[in-house]
Amino acid sequence: MELVPRLQRFYGGSPREWLTLPVSEIELFAKMLPRLKGEENIQAWQIAAAAAGTLEKNDRMFLIRTWRDQATPRSRRQRVSAEQGKIMLASIGIKVIECN
């Protein structure tokens, strides 16, 4: 059965576990395979484009920030107050104008 190795690749589990599931559940998992493969293909293209230098700098940096955010656990992401943000921006020469 060709489907079982594909399901294992994306979802894990042993062949025995997959073969003992009800057919309706296997069909639900199998239905998602094209979408998962499409997501992988898009990600592979993004990686190749970023590495090859074919993206505009802003687009490349957006991808890298996105990947970095995805790799950083939420608990480790720093939150800064508005005041801390103003200080950080001022330290690199950006003037903050407050609108009331």
Q: Is residue 100 part of a domain?
A: no
Along the 100 residues of the chain, how does pLDDT read in single tens digits?
A: 688 998 998 899 998 999 999 999 999 999 999 999 999 999 999 999 988 889 898 998 898 888 888 887 766 667 778 888 888 888 888 888 877 6
pLDDT score, position 88: 81
> Crossing angle of helices 3-11/23-52, nearest 10°?
60
Residue 67 burial class via C-beta count within 10 angstroms: exposed 0-12, middle 13-18, buried 19 and up: middle
Q: Kindly state whether residue 97 falls inside one of the protein's structural domains.
A: no
Domain range for 45: 3-91
Which two tokens mark 100? 């009331």
Burial of 48-64, coded b for 16+ CB within 10 Å and e otherwise, reads eebeeeebeeeebeebe
Does residue 38 lie in a domain region?
Answer: yes
Split into its structural domains, the chain has a count of: 1
User: What is the spatial distance between Cα 32 and Cα 93, in angstroms, rounded to a whole number?
Assistant: 49
Residue 96 in any domain: the answer is no
Is the residue at 36 inside a domain? yes
Q: Domain for residue 29, yes or no?
A: yes
Lookup: tokens for 63 = 């991808």
